[in-house]
Amino acid sequence: MSSFRKRALDEFASHRAERFYVEERPVSEYFGQKVFDVEKMRRYLSAEAFEAVQQAIGEGLKIDRSIANQIASGMKSWAVENGATHYTHWFHPLTDATAEKHEAFVDPSKNGGVFENFKGDALVQQEPDASSFPNGGLRNTFEARGYTAWDPTSPAFIMDQTLCIPTVFVSYTGEALDHKAPHLKSLQALDKAATDLCRLFDHKTNRVNVMLGIEQEYFLVDEALYRARPDLMLCNRTLIGHTSAKDQQLEDHYFGAIPSRVMAFMKDFETEAYKLGVVLKTRHNEVAPNQFEFAPYFAEANLSVDHNLMMMILMRKIAKKHKLKVIFHEKPFAGVNGSGKHCNWSMVTNNGVNLLSPGKTPRTNLQFLSFFVSVTRAVYEHHPLLMAGVATLNNSYRLGGNEAPPAVMSVFAGKLLTSVLDSIEKMSEDDASSQDQTHHKLDIVNKIPEILPDNTDRNRTSPFAFTGNRFEFRAVGSSANVSAALYPLNAAVAQQLKRFKELVENLMKEGVDKEEAFLKVIRQFIIESRNIMFEGNGYSPEWHKEAERRGLRGIKDLPSAFKTYLEENSIKLFEETNVLTEREVEARYEVMNETFIKKLQIEARVLGDLTLNHIIPTAIKFQNTLIDNVRGIKELFEEDEYKTMSERQLITIRKISGYIEILRKETKELIEARKVANQIEECEEKAVLYSNTVLPIMTSIRTVADKLEMLVDDELWPLPKYRELLFWR
Ligand code: ADP
Ligand code: MG
């Protein structure tokens, strides 16, 4: 067997299920051990410092310098007692990864020794030498400074003996350079709009939080096999590889018994996750072989995103100990399910009322419906933008494929709720304006049963489904920072909530009774959102036609999806909600194009390498053995016998020659296409060219390489095959 693949398979065979560390104590005893949470703040901070942090968290008040020093000192004491030697500002630049630059706590002391030191300034703000993060032109090189600023709403934690301080990342001029800043601003906008609307029902509401529960799907691959695949190593996905005879068709993996090596990994991972204060709730096998999922209990959105990113880092580290590789890519293997990050999204008041949970009284149901229709209206208004928010190169390989949400947006409400919405819509305008009918109409509102959460049917084909007390945004990709997908949603909902309230107030000013006014606006929003509501099978071709008929815009190609950000409607949304300025949006647009181009460029290079240096030489080697064989037959046998004996082999030899020729030709074309595209300066134009010329050649090369894999002697094939990568247990 090809030594490359053989070595990998041999090494893999020696890997066993191992547990490195067994935590015997109940989880409740060590939960949050590595987090500087409220309880630790109380212990390590003065009353004054504690109060200041709480106010910064609750009301966004600024922390003054002297107090910052006190907080830093308390945080340092806790961190050092818990083994930390370094600290870092932890931030989320516009890449797929988080960033950190570690500083040691120690400073030299006068007597030649060292002492642990951590000042307020270092806690609150830092200036990382950050000129090489994507910035879309927001930072000129002559003013390459970027600042990280402490986000006190997400608690500091210790990972790898380093105190990690969650921060936002902004330019010298204050423009956002990360995923966190616009997400936080969108949460603020939504809080304001939702609280204002709530106060028409309940004066005691003074805050609305977005709650987020993120289901993370991922693949696990044996490390030795992973290393033997240049495409997995460099692109996190296989660029070639014939499907395995058996993959997910027997549906025997989903919820199946978790393999022992995976279980060992999961247990180690969970122990560390609990210490980091993440309430992991579920773990199970997913649909594709060696695909898995975990979901923590939902939390406030900003914290939930940080937790998700922490978990991704942690999983990579723990997997290493188990000689595994975690693959977060949305579509690492063609032909089997891809991975998503389902975002369960709801709005909850400071009094604990879930605004997306139907209530028991007409009044609370009126409130529920107001919020529900504001979300559907928002999704309709900005559906192209919401799709653009999940449009990445990785995710584009997944969306619309095997059991993945379609690349066009729709909202699923469920049978019961749909019938309620229908009956409200059917009320005539007259009905809606005559006072004595109000009672009857509220009856309809009353018909939403209290137990709705258990009653909702599940439609797993919808990219945005209501599941009884929350929406599940399923189109988000598994490797994404979900903030990027969520800030457009939060902003869009904030915009509609504000509009909803204004419309109600206008009606009330005209003398319309309050409940009547609510019902009228709910009805208006239902009518306006009609086109986005879809209860059927989102995977079916009929839906694609229907969506087009309704004028819904999906992702056709990535460069045009990115362009949605620059549309007037999008910019207006971001500026109105104070989430991003036009300049910031433009910068992000640049970064999206740049990232797309660079990723595709890397994939195209790796594919070229695989074809020229792995596949073609292997095919030639195999072809030569066939040729030798035919020659031998010719020497040994009579003409007649030779003819029958060599006929099929000659066909195969010709076939292989043909494929090799196509591969050579297409690889050359691929290189040419890249060259032409690379000469273009302008980011947008370059992205379009990459999308239109490079991408299709890659698809075509793959088809041919996969055909060769089926022809060539298994012994010779250099790359671990799908059956090995997916069934390594
Ligand atoms: P599924 O059946 O969709 O796979 P899971 O149990 O895997 O569900 O995940 C559901 C996620 O939704 C969990 O993270 C859970 O905590 C979260 N969740 C539950 N209720 C809410 C809510 N009201 N708001 C936000 N997230 C929620
Ligand atoms: Mg799940």
Distance of CA 344 from the midpoint of ligand 1 (Å): 6
Tell which wins on pLDDT, 143 or 592: 592
Which residues form ligand 1's pocket by a CB distance below 6 Å?
211-213, 215, 282, 295-298, 344, 346, 354, 469-470
Question: How many Å is the maximal CA-CA distance in the chain?
Answer: 105
Nearest ligand (C-alpha, residue 292): 2
Band of residue 436 on the pLDDT scale cut at 50, 70, 90: low
The percentage of the chain sitting over the pLDDT mark of 90, rounded to a whole number, equals 78
Kindly tell me if the per-residue pLDDT of 256 is higher than 90: no
* CA separation for the pair 356, 519 (Å, rounded): 17
Give whole-number Cα distances, 492 to 245, 360, 569, in Å: 45, 28, 11
- pLDDT for 69 equals 94
Q: Three-state SS across 169-189?
A: EEECCCCECECHHHHHHHHHH
Q: Which residues contact 579 (CB under 8 A, 6 or more apart)?
A: 182, 185, 186, 189, 487, 490, 491, 573
User: Which protein residue's CA is at the shortest distance from atom 4 of ligand 1?
Assistant: 215
Kindly tell me if the per-residue pLDDT of 433 is higher than 60: no
The residue whose two tokens read 């919808």 is: 462
Distance of CA 293 from the midpoint of ligand 2 (Å): 7
Band of residue 638 on the pLDDT scale cut at 50, 70, 90: very high
Query: In what helix (H) or strand (E) does residue 220 lie, and over which residues does it extend?
Result: strand 208-222
User: Which protein residue's CA is at the shortest distance from atom 13 of ligand 1?
Assistant: 213
pTM over 0.85? The answer is yes
User: Minimal CA–CA distance to 618: which of 713, 496, 484, 499?
Assistant: 713
The percentage of the chain sitting over the pLDDT mark of 70, rounded to a whole number, equals 95
Distance of CA 317 from the midpoint of ligand 1 (Å): 26
Ligand 1 atom closest to the Cα of residue 293 is 7
Neighbours of 184 (CB within 10 A): 24
Read off the pLDDT of each residue in 288-303 and give the average, rounded to a whole number: 95
Kindly tell me if the per-residue pLDDT of 451 is higher than 80: no
What amino acid is encoded at 374 in this protein? Answer: S
* pLDDT tens track for 323-353: 999 999 999 999 999 999 999 999 999 999 9
* pLDDT tens track for 13-44: 898 877 767 788 999 999 999 999 999 999 99
Distance of CA 283 from the midpoint of ligand 2 (Å): 8
The tokens for 369 are 């419906």
Neighbours of 247 (CB within 10 A): 20
In contact, 535 and 411? CB cutoff 8 Å: no
Kindly tell me if the per-residue pLDDT of 478 is higher than 80: yes
Ligand 1 atom closest to the Cα of residue 297 is 16
* pLDDT tens track for 173-195: 888 999 999 999 999 999 999 99
Distance of CA 390 from the midpoint of ligand 1 (Å): 20
User: Minimal CA–CA distance to 186: which of 368, 61, 345?
Assistant: 345
Across the chain, mean pLDDT equals: 92
Kindly tell me if the per-residue pLDDT of 439 is higher than 70: no
Looking from the CA of 494 toward its CB, the CA atoms found within 13 Å total 27
Read off the pLDDT of each residue in 190-203 and give the average, rounded to a whole number: 95
- pLDDT for 449 equals 61
Q: Which residue ranges make up each domain of the chain?
A: 31-178, 187-580, 596-726
Q: Which residues pair with 324 in a beta bridge?
A: 222
- pLDDT for 227 equals 95
| Dihedral-angle region of residue 236 (phi above 0 means left; psi in -120 to 50 means alpha; beta otherwise) | left
- pLDDT for 169 equals 93
Neighbours of 29 (CB within 10 A): 10
Kindly tell me if the per-residue pLDDT of 729 is higher than 80: no
Read off the pLDDT of each residue in 602-618 and give the average, rounded to a whole number: 97
Distance of CA 526 from the midpoint of ligand 2 (Å): 29
| The CATH number of domain 596-726 is 1.20.120.1560 | yes
Mutate to test the pocket of ligand 1, among 344, 354, 372, 478 (most ligand atoms within 8 A of CB): 344
Band of residue 1 on the pLDDT scale cut at 50, 70, 90: confident
Ligand 1 atom closest to the Cα of residue 344 is 26
- pLDDT for 463 equals 94
The tokens for 182 are 């616009």
Tell which wins on pLDDT, 677 or 431: 677
* CA separation for the pair 291, 327 (Å, rounded): 9
In contact, 464 and 407? CB cutoff 8 Å: no
Kindly tell me if the per-residue pLDDT of 215 is higher than 70: yes
Band of residue 430 on the pLDDT scale cut at 50, 70, 90: low
Assign domain 31-178 one CATH number from 1.10.3720.10, 3.30.1180.20, 3.10.20.70, 3.40.50.720: 3.10.20.70
In contact, 486 and 186? CB cutoff 8 Å: yes
Ligand 1 atom closest to the Cα of residue 356 is 23
- pLDDT for 330 equals 97
Kindly tell me if the per-residue pLDDT of 456 is higher than 70: no
Kindly tell me if the per-residue pLDDT of 593 is higher than 70: yes
* pLDDT tens track for 495-541: 999 999 999 999 999 999 998 999 999 999 999 999 999 999 998 98
* CA pseudo-torsion sign 551, 337, 341, 414: positive
- pLDDT for 447 equals 66
CA angle 15, 20, 24 (to 5 degrees): 140
In contact, 42 and 84? CB cutoff 8 Å: no
In this structure, what are the phi and psi dihedrals at residue 474, rounded to the nearest 5 degrees? -100, -10
Mutate to test the pocket of ligand 1, among 210, 214, 215 (most ligand atoms within 8 A of CB): 215
* CATH topology for the 187-580 domain: Creatine Kinase; Chain A, domain 2 (3.30.590)
Band of residue 427 on the pLDDT scale cut at 50, 70, 90: confident
- pLDDT for 677 equals 95
Nearest ligand (C-alpha, residue 281): 1
In this predicted structure, which of 6-15, 27-36, 254-263, 561-570 has the lowest mean pLDDT? 254-263
* pLDDT tens track for 373-406: 999 999 999 999 999 999 999 999 999 877 778 8
User: Which protein residue's CA is at the shortest distance from atom 1 of ligand 1?
Assistant: 215
Mutate to test the pocket of ligand 1, among 218, 255, 298 (most ligand atoms within 8 A of CB): 298
Distance of CA 190 from the midpoint of ligand 2 (Å): 26
* pLDDT tens track for 126-144: 887 656 788 887 766 455 6
| Dihedral-angle region of residue 258 (phi above 0 means left; psi in -120 to 50 means alpha; beta otherwise) | beta
Band of residue 443 on the pLDDT scale cut at 50, 70, 90: confident
Read off the pLDDT of each residue in 301-308 and give the average, rounded to a whole number: 98
Nearest ligand (C-alpha, residue 295): 1
Read off the pLDDT of each residue in 144-167 and give the average, rounded to a whole number: 93
448, 449, 454, 460: CA torsion to nearest 10: -10
